[in-house]
Amino acid sequence: MTVTYPKKFQNALGAREILAQIVRDREIHAITLNRYRYSEQRSCKDLTNLIEQLDGKSPELIRDLSRHIADEARHAMWLTDLLVDMGVSVGTPPGMSYINEFERLLDSETKDPAKDLDDFLISSLAAINVTEKRGCEYFSAHIYALKQASQTAENIKIRETIEKILPEEAGHVRWGNRWLGKLAAQSPEHRQKVEQAKKKYAAIEQAAYESGMDITLGAELRRVANLVEVTNNMPLWERTQYLMERLPQTLLAPELQMTRLQAAQRIWNRNPQEFMEKFVPMFINGIKGLESSAKPVKATK
Ligand SMILES: [Fe+2]
Ligand SMILES: [Fe+2]
């Protein structure tokens, strides 16, 4: 079976490179930890929604999901304790939210357990699985970066917290793989649906991830390219409607403008020289990316 792993940001920056930068700056480090906290907390709500949608169907899955929620709630609790002890914000993270973007891109049409329970299970489990993989990628890169960073009491405490979470996230990935494998084994048609869903949700997750990271100029155009890539993994008849529904917001992207502005302000206020040296080249790279994005969009990864 296809194993789909998260792609690097714009095929260039990997989680390790990004995290190595993040752990050097306490303010950005705290914002990143708060984004983890927010994601963990939010996944409790999303998994609870899933149980409610199942409404008693597949009791075995409901039992697994209730354990899953307990894990995510514990992760949110550990991160909240950590952030409060650090004396930093546990407010809703500013700007673009990876989860909101992921949910915006999710196709709601297949999400009806009453229509076809197996289709619903396949798409729900494939969507959960791909975000858990991204979590593992980030947490292991974060631990790696913290081992290289200066061993302050705070850094050690952050590393110990993430080290408690990572094995459970890896368990969630294995759990999702087992369920998807079981569903795929039911028939050749099921196998095909599972393969299709894995590709589709990997493309959706990649688009959500990049839009959360992408604050450089030309981001809107790359988001359109990502949206097209998402539709390339859909049956033909679903593509047009999906694009038409999401294109206006993808182009206007008010949240994206806010993220860009806040990031610029933060760096400018702290260190005008750093702004010129780091942030301005980021914009210039954005323009270069814009020129190279004129080439055709790849259909698959
Ligand atoms: Fe978690
Ligand atoms: Fe998880």
- Concatenated DSSP letters for 163-210? HHHHHHHHHHHHHHHHHHHHHHTT-HHHHHHHHHHHHHHHHHHHHHHH
> Would residue 65 count as lying in a domain?
yes
- Per-residue burial over 102-136, b if 16 or more Cβ lie within 10 Å, else e, is bebbbbeebbebeeeebbbbbbbbbbbbbbbbbbb
**Ligand 1 geometric centre to CA of 277 (Å):** 36
Q: What is the mean pLDDT of residues 126-155?
A: 94
What's the confidence (pLDDT) of residue 58? 93
| Inside any domain, residue 227 | no
Distance 72 CA to ligand 2 centre (A): 6
pLDDT of residue 48 exceeding 90: yes
Give residue 229 CA to ligand 2 midpoint distance, Å: 26
| Least reliable range by pLDDT among 14-18, 131-135, 202-206, 281-285 | 281-285
Task: Look at residue 25 in the predicted model and tell me its pLDDT.
Answer: 82
pLDDT at position 287 is 41
- Give the tens place of pLDDT for each residue, 232-267: 777 766 766 676 667 656 655 656 555 655 665 565
Q: Which residues contact 98 (CB under 8 A, 6 or more apart)?
A: 35, 39, 208, 209, 212
Note whether residue 194 is domain-resident. Answer: yes
pLDDT of residue 67 exceeding 50, the answer is yes
Report how far ligand 2's centroid is from the alpha carbon of 277 (Å). 37
Q: How far is the CA of 71 from the centre of ligand 1 (A)?
A: 6
Of all ligands present, the nearest one to the C-alpha of 75 is 1
**Residue 43 vs residue 19, higher pLDDT:** 43
Ligand 1 centre to CA of 284 (Å) is: 36
Cα(178) to ligand 1 centroid in Å equals: 18
Residue 126 CA to ligand 1 centre (angstroms): 16
Instruction: Report how far ligand 2's centroid is from the alpha carbon of 283 (Å).
Output: 34
3-class DSSP assignment, residue 213: helix
Q: What are phi and psi of 9, to 5 degrees?
A: -65, 120
Lowest mean pLDDT among 27-36, 118-127, 269-278: 269-278
Lowest mean pLDDT among 30-34, 142-146, 189-193, 222-226: 222-226
Directed axis angle between helix 26-54 and helix 117-148, to 10°?
160
- For residue 41, which ligand has an atom nearest its CA? 1
Nearest ligand to the CA of 36 is 1
CA of 80 to the centre of ligand 2 (A): 16
Q: Is 174 exposed, middle or buried (0-12, 13-18, 19+ CB in 10 A)?
A: exposed
Give residue 266 CA to ligand 2 midpoint distance, Å.
31
Range in 160-174, 181-195, 278-292 the model is least confident about: 278-292
Mean pLDDT, the chain, whole residue set: 78
Percent of the chain beyond pLDDT 70?
66
Residue 108 within any structural domain of the chain: yes
Is 40 inside any structural domain?
yes
Q: 43: CA distance to ligand 1 center in Å?
A: 8
The CATH number of whichever domain residue 29 belongs to comes to: 1.20.1260.10
Provide the domain limits for residue 130: 15-214
Residue 251 maps to a domain: no
- Domains in the chain: how many in total? 1
Measured in angstroms, how far is the CA atom of residue 122 from the centroid of ligand 2? 17
Question: Using CA atoms, how far apart are residues 182 and 278, in angstroms rounded to an integer?
Answer: 48
Query: Ligand nearest 79 Cα, by number?
Result: 1
Per-residue confidence band for 217, with pLDDT thresholds at 50, 70 and 90 = very low
- Tell me the CA–centroid distance for residue 167 and ligand 1, in Å: 10
Tell me the residue type at 65: L
What's the pLDDT at 270? Answer: 62
In-domain check, residue 105: yes
Least confident of 122-131, 171-180, 257-266: 257-266
Give percent above pLDDT 90 in the chain. Answer: 42
Provide the pLDDT for residue 45.
92
As a whole number, mean pLDDT of residues 153-169 equals 97
Q: Is there a domain that residue 287 lies in?
A: no
Neighbours of ion ligand 1 (CB under 5 A): 40, 72, 75
pTM (two decimals): 0.72
